[in-house]
Amino acid sequence: MKVNQAEFIISAVGPSQYPEDALPEIALAGRSNVGKSSLINRLIARKNLARTSSQPGKTQTLNYYRINEDLYFVDLPGYGYAKVSKTKREQWGKFVESYLLERDVLKLVMLLVDLRHPPSKDDQAMYEWLKHHDVPLCVVATKADKIPKSKWAKHAKIVRETLGMKKDDVLQVFSSEIGLGKDELWEILEEAISY
C-alpha cells in the first residue's frame, strides 16, 4: 500500500471513543516491548508517529492511527508486564478482550512475538484465546535483525511449534529496524481488509 497520509487519531479508553466511520481496523497485540509501535512506524515509513519507548508497559490505551482513507491500525496495550498491578492488568484485559470480541470492523490481529526466543506463556495464551474465539490473526515474528539470517528459518519453526500454529496460519518474519518483511506484511494486510 502506498501510504500518503498517516495520522494519530485518538488514545481511546473505551468504546465511546472508537471511530465511527467504519474503516477496517487491524490491531497489534503482543507483550510489552515486543515492538508493536515500531512495526507501525516501519509500515508507514515514519520515524516516530507511533510512540515507542524502552520503558515497557507505556501504551495503556487503544491507540488509533488512520492510514489514508483505507484503514486504522489499533495499537493495543502490551500484556505481560509484571510491574503493573494485578487489578490494572485485569482491567486492561477486559477492555482489550471486549474490543477483540465485539469490534465488527476488526479485520485482523497481528500477534507480535520476538523471533529470538520461543513464545512465552503469555504469547501462547494470547494465541490460543484468539483462535478459540475465531479472531482472524497473523503472527509476526519481529526483531529478526537481532539474529543472523541463517537462523531465521529455525527460529520461525520454533515459534510455529511453540504456539501450536495451524498449517493455514500465517507467520511473517519481520524487522522494524531494517524493514525486513514490510512488503510481504502489507500484502497480508491488504488482503485482510479487502473483504
CB of 5 to ligand GTP, least distance (A): 21
Closest to ligand GTP by CB, 25 or 81: 81
CB of 75 to Mg ion, least distance (A): 6
The residues binding ligand GTP (CB under 6 A) are: 30, 32-38, 52-54, 56-59, 78, 142-143, 145-146, 175-177
**Helix, coil or strand: residue 89:** helix
Closest CA to 65 of 40, 91, 48: 40
Closest to ligand GTP by CB, 163 or 176: 176
Residue 80 touches which member of Mg ion, ligand GTP, none, C-beta under 5-8 Å by kind: none
Residue 63 touches which member of ligand GTP, Mg ion, none, C-beta under 5-8 Å by kind: none
Q: What is d(CA 114, CA 106) in angstroms, rounded to the nearest whole number?
A: 24
Residue 142 touches which member of ligand GTP, Mg ion, none, C-beta under 5-8 Å by kind: ligand GTP
Residue 181 touches which member of Mg ion, ligand GTP, none, C-beta under 5-8 Å by kind: none
Sheet containing 137-142, strands listed edge to edge, beginning at the edge strand earlier in sequence: 6-12, 62-67, 71-75, 25-30, 106-114, 137-142, 171-173
Closest to Mg ion by CB, 83 or 166: 83
Please, where are the H alpha helices in 103-165? 121-132, 152-163
Cell of 125: 495464551
Cell of 24: 477496517
Closest to Mg ion by CB, 77 or 181: 77
Q: Can you point out the beta strands (E) in 70-184?
A: 71-75, 106-114, 137-142, 171-173
Residue 41 found at the interface with Mg ion (CB under 5 A): no
Residue 169 touches which member of ligand GTP, Mg ion, none, C-beta under 5-8 Å by kind: none
Greatest extent of the chain over all pairs of C-alpha atoms, in Å: 47
Residue 59 found at the interface with Mg ion (CB under 5 A): yes
Q: What does DSSP assign to residue 168?
A: T
Binding site for Mg ion (CB under 5 A): 36-37, 59
